[in-house]
Each structure stands twice: as C-alpha cells, then as structure tokens.
Chains A and B, each alone.
Chain A
C-alpha cells in the first residue's frame, strides 16, 4: 500500500496535537484518521477501528437542524468540501452518545498539496456557543 501524500501525513500529525476533534478523510469520504478528542464524539477509538469506509462512519452521526429535521448529506460541510474542494462551515445539532442533543460547529477544508491535486479533507468540530 503506497504511503499517503505528505500533506495528509502532516495533517494527521497536526490533528494528533490538537485538543479539538478532527477528522481526516480521503477524497471519497473514507475516514482515514480521527484524533483522541474526536473519539469522544464517535464513541470509538482509532486504534480499535483503524480506517472506516464512509458508509460505516457516516451513520454514527445524526445531524439535524434547529427544527429537529434531519440534515441530508449534501448539507454537511465535509460533504460539500469533498464535492467542490472548497472550505465550508455550518452550525447544527447532533445527538450525542448519551442521547443528548448538542449544538456544534463544523469547519471542513480540503487538503490540496503542491501538485494542486486534492488528496482529502479535514473536518474540525467544536461545541457551538452561538445559542
């Protein structure tokens, strides 16, 4: 298996140093790394799961809007970023592992290295204070 490009590797190394949840995907949306703070959102440990196909990890989130209506994938920042290779941001709700609703903000950005080719995307999550 060839190594990831260095911009992916460096993003993982950066995410590993952050205290905010960070998810890294390949261009297809497969989850190739998530850091320790992200483990608390997913309820899974990266050491246990390793990489996860998009179909598997996407179902771990139940995003919905302020009216309680479930958000379709095309309204999620990471999906948008994977589609158009641009940064996206959105505040919405997710159901926490304890069944409690939590308002979060998500910023997703594309990973585009010196070759100009997009090699993946990063999504960072944090609890929204914009109530």
Chain B
C-alpha cells in the first residue's frame, strides 16, 4: 500500500514561505494498491494530485470524511471529474435530512462554482455511507461516524497486508474530563485499532484546546493518547492549524516530544510525504 499526502493543513489553505515545508493545502491523501486508487478527501490538495501510476481500470474512488469546505474545496479542480472516460465514485457520510448529492451541490453549483454536478462529463456515482463496510478493488474499507460537528466519518483502509486509518477531523476528548480511558467509550477507536499507520487530527496544543472544546478537533496530546490506546504503529499528526508556521509547528512538536515518551513512531504530517506500508 502506497500513501501520499497532498494536503495536511486544517480549516483553510495557507500559502507563503512560512508554511512551505509542511504545506498549506487542505486535506487530501491518495492510497494505491494493485493499480487501484483511493483519494481520501477533496481539500485543496486534490488539485495537485497526479495519477502517475497506471490504473487497473478507469475508476477512481474519492472518500470524503465530511463536507466541511476544507475537505471538498478542491473537488471542482480534480481533473478526472472532467474526463468523460473516467468512472468516479464519491463516498460521503449520510445525513439524516439531506442527500449527499444535495449537500455536495451546495458547493458544486452557482454562485460558488460554475459547473453543476450533473454536468460533469465523467461517469459519476455517489454513495452514502455511515457505519459501513465496503470493498473497493483490493481495499476493505470501514467507515464509522466520529465526533466532529455535522455528519463525519473516519476510514479504516485495509489493503493486502496493512491497515491505514484516516481520521483527519476528530474530537474524541469532547467531554468534561476529556477522553474516557476505556476503548468501548472512545469515538473512532475501532477504525484505528492496531493500524500500521494512523493520520489523525492534531490541530491544537493542549492549552489551545481548553478554549476550543466542541470545535471538532484534537490537541496533539489527545491525538497521541488516542493512538496509544488504539495501539497504532505509526502516527501522523495532521490538520495543522492555519495560523501555525513551519517554525511554530517544529516548536510545538519539540515540546510534545520533550513531555512524552510514546514508543510508537510519530511525526508531523507533511504535504508531499510518501509512505509505503508492507
């Protein structure tokens, strides 16, 4: 399984030399195995996504964790959507009131965007998911609703030999005393349990989180605690706050390392990062 991160910034894109190292594009990753391509989220990073491996067929599956703008704003610039020879499947969380098509159309329609979903030349299929399991090529995928404002899922992608858990927006610590230290009572834990790689929300410092409870995101400390309880092997800390420069991110991570001694591998996610899992 090969993974590439095309956007790891949270909330809004940032540009400029002060964020050039970790990158300023919002959430997007791709996952390859056996010529099959999954695209996780359609943030601004998706516009740079290059299909540089031969596809086993003319199909690409885009899995959306939720429909906040930083996770769909790049969709309209995803070139395969405008290729009539392509078969695109978009999977997104079901709402109890409106269809995925209706909610996506709020963005992919005038006045916010000039092209309507129905006018996209590709062969497009939308799939509503919740607490679901489904198969795409060699991938077995589990989605579960997780704690974040509005319908939001995380994904557990199981390939031939490895597991990638993708939970970029998540607040498992929401509550009076933070995360309950019992796996039965932790949002998203089933997705991450024993994963070879977990990409998880780590937007805030612990001090910042005190003032941003309920906003749907995690502190770096809670992200690491979540990963530890789940027993993941490698943690990517992502959804970087847009106000955080590269220098500030390095300082934040150094302080985190100095105060913790987790034994699993952990690092800050960086745009352009490529990881190969066995």
Interface residues of A (CB under 8 A from B): 1-6, 9-10, 12-13, 16-17, 113-116
Say what secondary structure dominates the interface of chain A. Answer: loop
Query: Given the interface contacts A3-B189, A5-B145, does A116 sit within 8 Å of B183 by beta carbon?
Result: no
Verify if B176 is at the interface (C-beta below 8 Å from A): yes
Verify if B224 is at the interface (C-beta below 8 Å from A): no
Verify if B216 is at the interface (C-beta below 8 Å from A): no
Say what secondary structure dominates the interface of chain B. Answer: loop
Nearest-Cβ distance from residue A2 to partner chain B, whole angstroms: 5
Bound complex: CA of A75 vs CA of B95, how far in Å?
A: 34
* Docked-complex contact B145 and A13, CB < 8 angstroms: no
* Docked-complex contact A9 and B185, CB < 8 angstroms: yes
Interface centre among A2, A10, A114 (most CB of B within 10 A): A114
Cross-interface CB contact of B176 among A9, A17, A114, cutoff 8 Å:
A17
* Docked-complex contact B189 and A114, CB < 8 angstroms: no
Verify if B225 is at the interface (C-beta below 8 Å from A): no
A residues within 8 A CB of B174?
10, 13
Measured as residues with beta carbon below 8 angstroms from the partner, the interface class of chain B is: 20 to 34
A-B contact pairs, 11 of them (CB 8 A): A3-B185, A3-B189, A3-B190, A6-B145, A9-B187, A13-B174, A13-B175, A13-B180, A17-B175, A114-B96, A114-B145
Known contacts A2-B190, A114-B95; can you find 15 more A-B pairs with CB under 8 A?
Answer: A1-B184, A3-B183, A3-B184, A3-B189, A6-B146, A9-B180, A10-B147, A12-B175, A12-B185, A16-B176, A114-B93, A114-B94, A114-B130, A114-B145, A115-B94
Leading 7 A-B pairs by shortest Cβ distance: A13-B175, A114-B96, A17-B176, A3-B189, A115-B130, A6-B187, A16-B176
* Docked-complex contact A3 and B186, CB < 8 angstroms: yes
Bound complex: CA of A6 vs CA of B95, how far in Å?
A: 15
B residues within 8 A CB of A1?
183-184
* Docked-complex contact A9 and B186, CB < 8 angstroms: yes
B residues within 8 A CB of A5?
131, 145
A residues within 8 A CB of B96?
114, 116
